[in-house]
Amino acid sequence: MAALVDRARSAGAVRPDLTVLDVRAGLLAIASLRSLPPASAPAAITRVTNLLLSGMHSGRSA
What was the pLDDT predicted at 61?
63
pLDDT of residue 62 exceeding 60, the answer is: no
Full domain range(s) for residue 38: 2-56
35 found inside a domain: yes
- Interval 3-18: pLDDT, tens: 999 999 999 999 999 9
What was the pLDDT predicted at 59?
83
- Interval 14-60: pLDDT, tens: 999 999 999 999 999 999 999 999 999 999 999 999 999 999 999 87
Burial pattern 21-60, b for ≥16 Cβ within 10 A else e, equals ebbeebeeeeeebeeeeeeeeeeebeeeeeebeeebeeee
62 found inside a domain: no
18 found inside a domain: yes
